[in-house]
Homo-oligomer: A and B are copies of this chain.
């Protein structure tokens, strides 16, 4: 059963789903295990599920050939200590030494990484960013995450908290945020913000971003027009933030991923027009703003890349 090919395991520990994949050094997915993150059963049960998934893949593809494990999690990471220090989705893990716990159980090196950083790395390795050394990724979901690849590596900052684009202030005095700020990008441009705007415009109280997208596509009714204005508003907020990021990083590539991506045609024009107006750099330096390519697999690939990179084993994407 065991193959004589070195590989690593990427784990994506989300608030809802827990996935683990064995990925070889050229980025081929050898196998994958998916399940739910059973937060209601407590932290130890989730750790146990994670270790079991990893062991399952190890059994299939060989203990010897496993270079290490990369774990992508939502929230702030303290890189040195391998801790999650702030995550709305994984509160039970706050301050818990996730990295060392898993590493001790498996006897393999484990790298803990923020999920958006891992996704940015995945896109750089195998996705939309293969041909650049610098890119900026924004992940649109319940909140908005971010990752920066600079010189081919994740920009971590002092303790690993760099890239928190969801809490950039785009509208001082704007919508209040649980972080204590107001006008945070994610309160004006996340999937959750789309739902809230739908409520404000009396389109419905429990609509998902996908529901609002469907309404927006339903022709020339008053409801459809209102729904389209929601995506324009989302695009403007994203444009203010991305305009700032272009001025700050002058990266060649900015990527967006996440649930609202199907609505690209509805929010991208407003986004691009804001960036165009707000960034001299955008107008003068070749800058692409595009959809990410790997979807929800990006974090899994990026997480798997990290132990391979650490071991000097990762291959350039074919």
Residues of A near any B CB (own CB < 8 A): 76, 85-86, 134, 146, 148, 150, 155-165, 167-172, 179-181, 240, 243-245, 247-252, 277-281, 283-287
Chain B residues near A251 (CB, 8 Å)? 157-158
Known: A167-B247, A181-B278, A248-B248. A157 touches B172 (CB 8 A): no
Least Cβ–Cβ distance between A117 and chain B, in angstroms: 11
- For the complex formed by this chain, how many copies does it contain in all? 2
Least Cβ–Cβ distance between A126 and chain B, in angstroms: 21
The answer to whether B247 touches A248, judged by C-beta atoms less than 8 angstroms apart, is: no
* Complex CA–CA separation, A252 to B156 (angstroms): 12
Q: Which of A85, A244, A283, A284 has the most CB of B within 10 A?
A: A244
Of B150, B245, B281, which is within 8 A of A155 by CB?
B150
Chain B residues near A148 (CB, 8 Å)? 248
The answer to whether B168 touches A247, judged by C-beta atoms less than 8 angstroms apart, is: yes
The answer to whether B250 touches A159, judged by C-beta atoms less than 8 angstroms apart, is: yes
* Complex CA–CA separation, A235 to B245 (angstroms): 21
The answer to whether A161 touches B85, judged by C-beta atoms less than 8 angstroms apart, is: no
Nearest residue in B to A237 (C-beta to C-beta)? B172
* Complex CA–CA separation, A46 to B278 (angstroms): 32
Known: A170-B172, A172-B170, A240-B172. A161 touches B278 (CB 8 A): no
Q: Which of A248, A277, A287 has the most CB of B within 10 A?
A: A248
The answer to whether B76 touches A164, judged by C-beta atoms less than 8 angstroms apart, is: no
User: Could you name 15 residue pairs across A and B whose Cβ atoms are closer than 8 Å?
Assistant: A76-B281, A150-B150, A157-B285, A158-B252, A161-B281, A162-B248, A164-B247, A164-B250, A164-B280, A167-B247, A167-B279, A168-B248, A169-B244, A179-B280, A180-B278
* Complex CA–CA separation, A143 to B30 (angstroms): 54
Nearest residue in B to A167 (C-beta to C-beta)? B247
Known: A158-B252, A250-B156. A169 touches B285 (CB 8 A): no
